[in-house]
A and B are shown apart, each in its own frame.
Chain A
Amino acid sequence: MIGASLSRWSMAYFAAALIALFAAEIMMTAGFGFPGATVAAPETLILVHVVAIGWLSLLMCGALLQFVPVLVVQPLYSDTLALPALVLLVSGLAALVLGFLQLGGYIGTSFPFLAAASVLLGCGFALIIWNLGRTLAAAPKLPLPAQFVTVGLVCVAATVTLGIIFALVLGGTVNATSLLVLTGIGRPIHATAGLGGWLTFTAMGVSYRLLAMFMLAPDLERPTTRAALLIGTIALAVAIAGGVIAALTHGNPAIALLAAFIGGVLALALYGADVRHLYRARKRKNIELNSRMTAFAFASLAASVVLIAVLLGLGQLEEHIGAVVFLVAFGWLSGLGLAQLYKIVAFLTWLECYGPILGKAPTPRVQDLVVEPRAVKWFRLYLLAVWAGEIVLLAGLPLLFRVATAAMFVATIGIAGEILRTRRLHNVAAASRLPAGAQLPRLLISSHA
């Protein structure tokens, strides 16, 4: 193994993820779910899970299938498992949405959609965890970024387990008292494990490596990196294990979550110092659009932490939890995800199209597959719309929030259009687009190296 191969199904994961993002933005613009409905309403649950599973998790899975092998310099355990996992996750999400619609009285049938969703999503995520876990386990030594991903995979297992319990309880499949109690008060644990452990912690690990690669910065193995990993892992363990134990023993999970938040802030502060160091130590002075836009995602992450702290101080966290989740999901995770997706698609498309003819014919650069000056306006619109949406959400102006999410939708369409142009090589000069031997990549399926 000298280099990772192209992940065959990552493009299909990315396409499915973008469709889910469009769906979520349309829902918000149409006033479906929060803030028009409460955070616990079935409509909001649909919105939240389309974002968390459909958009962010599929995006993360697609990226990990490609980049975990890079992190550990090992081949992916199985390229074959990626497709059934995608099918299971998408059908599981569809069943989950139907189950929530059933809970909201939109569907009259008694089919156990939530139980079906539990099985489908449980199997889908299990395949992902198995595939990535075996890939990680094959490495003789796990570099720090891979250790973050490992913790992230443990957290997604916890998140899915809690989700299955909630779905089975809400669907009436199980009614054990302890699980009813856990479902009643365990939602913040589920959200922390998902948004904090699975999505944020994994993104932290991958970003250490991707930022270093894309900006020509040194790989970090600093004491701050190790401390961020250790403290972050402890904080997540306290939040998830401590929170569940507290809920099952009639305690208050909020205490565990508060303790975890303090640890989480410290871990994020250390991560912030590392990221700052990466940007400052980079050798590539003129960084590309993805790295520039990622900086704004980091700003959103920092703003999210400050916002939680301020709201906790004011005793208004519960009241504004929707606004917090919105900033974490769309400012931090989606901001990072869209920026890196813009680069990753160009990079993987280049490898697939021009890699096989390298040395045989002149090839364009990855940079020739994109037109940054055209794409940057969509990223700016997206970021401004998210921050405007956050402000009006906190100000309690739901109509203006819908205007902001409409702007987000337009920006996302613009970004997706740029990504599609990249994938179809529309930005490459006609003379050098397809030299002899090069083939236009398929849209959703990548050819192997």
Chain B
Amino acid sequence: MFIQTEAMPDPTMLRFLPGREVLEEGTRGFRDEREAAASPLAEKLFAIEGVSKVEFARDSITVTRSGGDWQHLKPAILGVVMEHFMTGAPVLRNEAASSVHASAPPADADGELGHVKESLRQVIDPELGYNIVDLGLVYDIAAEEGGVIRITMTTTTPGCPATNYLKTGAGEAAGALPGVEFVDVQLTYEPRWTPELMSPEAKAYFGIDDGGGW
């Protein structure tokens, strides 16, 4: 699960996008612990010292702080949100609102990591003229707390003069996404890349009709 964060014009507010549906429709605000009793998630968020207001929308949770700083609050909030959604607990206790499922399927199959993957598609391997995701050069994308994205990728051939550009380009593309604070791109040649790793679309583009294995 990957949770993005979005800065707000008001620096005391921060928006969290868990990549899952939070409310089926509308918005719901909680101004204190008493109001938060209607939501297990809001309750847990108010338990964090410094949280003064919580608002749920269809795909986001906006938290307002009254004290502390985001550097310390953010990891705690990310932990609560992640734990809540991973356990599949409901967002609201109200029966009438129970159609809002915390464990509702994400808007797209890959969740927010899908956004990262999509962003990496603008990075092309210059020689092949095709994006690094569909070429199968991106082995893994992982999200960590604090807006950290870790990308493991390779190049078609070790020592390629484009290697540094591809690595930096992947970092730039992922880092430009809202809520991403830090991108770590690791290169690996284990396993070595083969055309077999290409997407069906890429294989069709290059005329590969035998699976692509060497």
A interface residues (Cβ-Cβ under 8 A, vs B): 2-6, 66, 69-74, 209, 212-214, 216, 218-219, 281, 283-286, 347-348, 350-351, 354-356, 358-360, 362-363, 365-368, 449
Contacts and interface: CB of A to CB of B under 8 A. Distances in A.
B127 A347 contact: yes
8 contacts: A3-B161, A73-B158, A212-B157, A358-B166, A359-B168, A359-B171, A360-B172, A363-B126
Interface residues of B, number: 34
Interface in B118-153: 122-124, 126-129
Contacts of A2: 163-164, 167, 187
A358 B163 CA distance: 11
Nearest to A347: B127
B156 interface: yes
A347 to B, nearest CB: 6
Contact of A351 (B165, B173, B208): B165
Interface in B169-207: 169-173, 176, 187, 195, 206-207
**Minimum-distance CB pairs A-B, first 6:** A3-B163, A358-B169, A365-B129, A359-B169, A359-B172, A285-B207
B5 interface: no
B122 A359 contact: yes
Contacts, number: 108
Nearest to A139: B159
Interface of B: 122-124, 126-129, 155-173, 176, 187, 195, 206-208, 212, 214
Contacts of A70: 157, 159-161
Identify the interface centre among A2, A283, A348, A366: most chain B CB within 10 Å of its CB: A283
A282 B166 CA distance: 23
Contacts of A214: 127
B161 A449 contact: yes
A358 B123 contact: yes
A73 B159 contact: yes
A4 B187 CA distance: 14
A279 to B, nearest CB: 14
Contacts of A365: 124, 126, 129
Contacts of B212: 283
Contact of B195 (A71, A74, A216): A216
A363 B166 CA distance: 12
B206 A356 contact: no
Nearest to B172: A359
Contact of A69 (B159, B166, B168): B159
A72 B160 CA distance: 10
Contacts of A351: 126, 161-162, 165
Contacts of A281: 214
B129 A449 contact: no
B92 to A, nearest CB: 40
A282 to B, nearest CB: 10
Contacts of B122: 359, 362
A368 B128 CA distance: 11
Contact of A4 (B124, B159, B171, B206): B159
A358 B161 contact: no
Contact of B214 (A218, A355, A356, A363): A218
Given A283-B195, A355-B165, A356-B165, A350 B157 contact: no
Given A3-B160, A4-B159, A358-B165, 16 more contacts: A3-B163, A3-B164, A3-B165, A70-B159, A72-B159, A283-B195, A283-B206, A285-B207, A286-B206, A358-B169, A359-B123, A359-B171, A360-B176, A363-B124, A368-B129, A449-B161
Contact of B207 (A66, A219, A284, A347): A284
Contacts of A347: 126-127, 161
Nearest to A363: B124
A113 to B, nearest CB: 39
A213 B156 contact: yes
